[in-house]
Amino acid sequence: MSAAAPLGSALPAPARGARRPALRRFMRHRLAMFGLAAIVILVVACAIGPYLSPYGPLTIDLRHRFQPPFLGPHLLGTDQLGRDLLVRLLLAGRISLTVGFAAMGLSTVFGVIVGLAAGFYGGWAGTALMRFVDAVLCFPQIFLLLTLAALVSPGVLTITLIVALTSWMEVARVVEGQIRSLRERDFAVAAEAIGVSDTHLMLRELLPNVMAPIVVAATLTVARAILLESYASYLGYGIQPPTPSWGNMLNNAQEYLTSAPWLAIVPGIVITLAVTGFNFLGDGLRDALDPRLDIHR
């Protein structure tokens, strides 16, 4: 373990030993590195950026209304009230990223629980559970989202819950399939022969071996959650002004699309950056953690 295995080593080295080649594969994945950098920059900027700016999010600068980017004191321009676009963008980022991560966390936990239960216990209950997952998957996600959003009063918490409710199915399917096959593996049978509890078998023996696909699915879920939140907020069912989010900034920009296109372009670019960033990261993780690239397993 101490010395890193030589490159291209043919020695099978699962688990701990395999994490180093996996890390190396990940570091070599350019798009993933780009995605990671984009995400880190966005998160850091959103976290500390607003404190560094001389403008507040609601500070109205009437002398500089509709200032285009780079052509005045406001770096990314201002909106119809002369509010600083950059500060609003970063504050909106806090909301959108929080919704993205929180929805990812919730949907992953929920999906893992459903997948684990269905895959582990199987039988008619497991089948019923997975057919339910399939049924939910068949339903167009955006309509489900909009229907749910129309029924409850929108807010950061509710939109997070709604996004999570519409995106846990993929994780559930991945986990269910993996658990079902892992359960037949010898080390799981060995644990059963020892007489361990179901909880131990699920959480200590099986789940650690499914972490890689879960991480990949979770990363991609963040991207989708951000996108879903943007849809909902853009359509007015999501985060409500004055709380800024990337989606409702776009909504607000509609009216000025011809006169002040940067109001739409700037949040659009940031949404694109965040979503592609997470997607690239997810792809990179998938390639790096792909068990088929791992000679032994």
Partner 1 sequence: MSGTGAPLLEVTDLAKHYPITGGRTLRAVDGVSFTLGAGEVLGIVGESGSGKTTLGRTVLRLTAASAGTIRFRGEEITDYSRRRMRPVRRHMQLVFQDPYASLNPRMSVEQILAIPLQVHEPGLKRAERRDRIEAVLSTVGLFPEAASRYPHEFSGGQRQRVGIARALICNPALLVADEPVSALDVSVQAQVVNLLLDLRQRLGLAILFIAHDLAVVGLISDRVAVMYLGRIVEIAETTTLFARPRHPYTEALFSAVPDIGGRHDRILLQGDIPSPVSPPSGCPFRTRCPYAEAACAEALPPLVERAPGHFAACRRPELTLSSPLSPQPVSRFAADA
Q: Which is nearer to partner 1, 146 or 196 (CB)?
A: 196
Rounded least distance, CB 192 to partner 1, Å: 6
Q: Which residue in 48, 150, 190, 257 binds partner 1 (CB under 8 A)?
A: 190
Rounded least distance, CB 19 to partner 1, Å: 10
Q: Which is nearer to partner 1, 19 or 65 (CB)?
A: 19
Q: Which is nearer to partner 1, 62 or 193 (CB)?
A: 193
Q: Which residue in 4, 15, 48, 203 binds partner 1 (CB under 8 A)?
A: 15
Is residue 186 a contact point for partner 1 (CB under 8 A)? yes
Is residue 44 a contact point for partner 1 (CB under 8 A)? no
- List the x/- string, 192-221, binding to partner 1 by CB under 8 A: xxxxxxx-x----x--xx------------
Rounded least distance, CB 195 to partner 1, Å: 3
Is residue 20 a contact point for partner 1 (CB under 8 A)? no
How far apart (Å, rounded) are the C-alpha atoms in residues 174 and 119? 10
Rounded least distance, CB 188 to partner 1, Å: 8
Is residue 292 a contact point for partner 1 (CB under 8 A)? no
Is residue 17 a contact point for partner 1 (CB under 8 A)? yes
For residue 84, which phi and psi values (nearest 5 degrees)? -70, 120
Q: Which residue in 185, 254, 255, 272 binds partner 1 (CB under 8 A)?
A: 185
Rounded least distance, CB 181 to partner 1, Å: 12
The residue to which tokens 């359509």 are assigned: 235
Burial class of 132 by CB neighbour count within 10 A (0 to 12, 13 to 18, 19+): middle
Rounded least distance, CB 199 to partner 1, Å: 12
In order of 64, 68, 101, 131, 265, the CA distances from 216 in angstroms are: 44, 39, 14, 23, 29
The residue to which tokens 């996600």 are assigned: 141
- List the x/- string, 111-150, binding to partner 1 by CB under 8 A: ----------------------------------------
Q: Which is nearer to partner 1, 32 or 112 (CB)?
A: 112
How far apart (Å, rounded) are the C-alpha atoms in residues 166 and 236? 18
Is residue 12 a contact point for partner 1 (CB under 8 A)? yes
Binding region for partner 1 (CB under 8 A): 1, 12-17, 185-187, 189-198, 200, 205, 208-209, 296-297
